[in-house]
Structure 1
Amino acid sequence: VAPTLREVDGLAMSSRNRYLTNTQRVEALVLSRALRKATDMVAAGERRVDRLIAEATHLIAQHRRVRVIYVSIVDRVTMEAVKGEITPGNATMAIAAWVDEIRLIDNQIL
Structure 2
Amino acid sequence: MPDAQEGLFAAVDALLEEAAGTLPPPGERVRLREAGSLTQAQVAKALRVRRETVADWEAARKEPRPPKRAAYIRLLEGLAARHPVPEPTAAPTPPPASE
What TM-score do you get using the length of structure 2 for normalisation? 0.25
TM-score (norm 1): 0.24
Would you tell me which structure has more strand in proportion to its own residues? Answer: 1
Indicate the structure (1 or 2) with the bigger Cα radius of gyration: 2
